[in-house]
Chain A
Amino acid sequence: QKEVEQNSGPLSVPEGAIASLNCTYSDRVSQSFFWYRQYSGKSPELIMSIYSNGDKEDGRFTAQLNKASQYVSLLIRDSQPSDSATYLCAVNVAGGFKTIFGAGTRLFVKA
């Protein structure tokens, strides 16, 4: 079982819709969770971090964490074509700085 799993996609949504990206992880004691966006040919950039159960909102982005279900998600409201990218879920291994990345979900937002 992979430590961090994401649906590879592609996920295609129309402009203005909500895009929902999901991630599950295997390490029950993980405490820190991150979403990174990676445009084609570019390096990953941090979008959101979340540490507590529940929702965390930042602009059009909402991260959701459910530690009991070992599940973290990213919602993108009012999706724009510029949101088209690969979204990487990352989980910090408890007790240290090591971070495990999922393989990423490709998102296409159609104009």
Chain B
Amino acid sequence: GAGVSQSPSNKVTEKGKDVELRCDPISGHTALYWYRQSLGQGLEFLIYFQGNSAPDKSGLPSDRFSAERTGGSVSTLTIQRTQQEDSAVYLCASSSQREVEQYFGPGTRLTVT
């Protein structure tokens, strides 16, 4: 079946602009995660959604970052007033209700100039 998809695959934006990154999880997966990975670094947890529960936003680095998940499926990560340090690959993953193994999308490479 279809895996996790993300769009766009690449995004170049000017400092100060807002960006929206989209994630479409595996069908039927109730949990959805966002991570950030800077060049040569590990995964930095940002936020996760599980079913209808309140999201765990503990990893969001500042109030410029927000995310929503509509209808328990597609999620959008929004970064307002982008800064150069926001440049990274943003990864989305999903997992099922029963198991916590995560399946990752291909990522969105964000470059802030």
Chain A interfacial positions (CB closer than 8 Å to B):
32, 34, 42-46, 49, 88, 90, 92, 96-104
Contacts and interface: CB of A to CB of B under 8 A. Distances in A.
B67 interface: no
A101 B43 contact: yes
Contacts of B63: none
Contacts of B106: 42-43
A43 B42 contact: no
Interface size bucket, B side?
A: 20 to 34
Contacts, number: 46
A interface, by DSSP: helix, strand, loop or mixed? strand
Interface of B: 31, 33, 35, 41-43, 45, 48, 50, 56, 91, 95, 99-107
Contacts of A92: 100
A102 B50 CA distance: 22
B107 A103 contact: no
B100 A103 contact: no
A47 to B, nearest CB: 10
A35 B50 CA distance: 22
Given A96-B50, A98-B45, A104-B42, A44 B100 contact: no
Contacts of B42: 88, 101-104
Contacts of B103: 46
Nearest to A103: B42
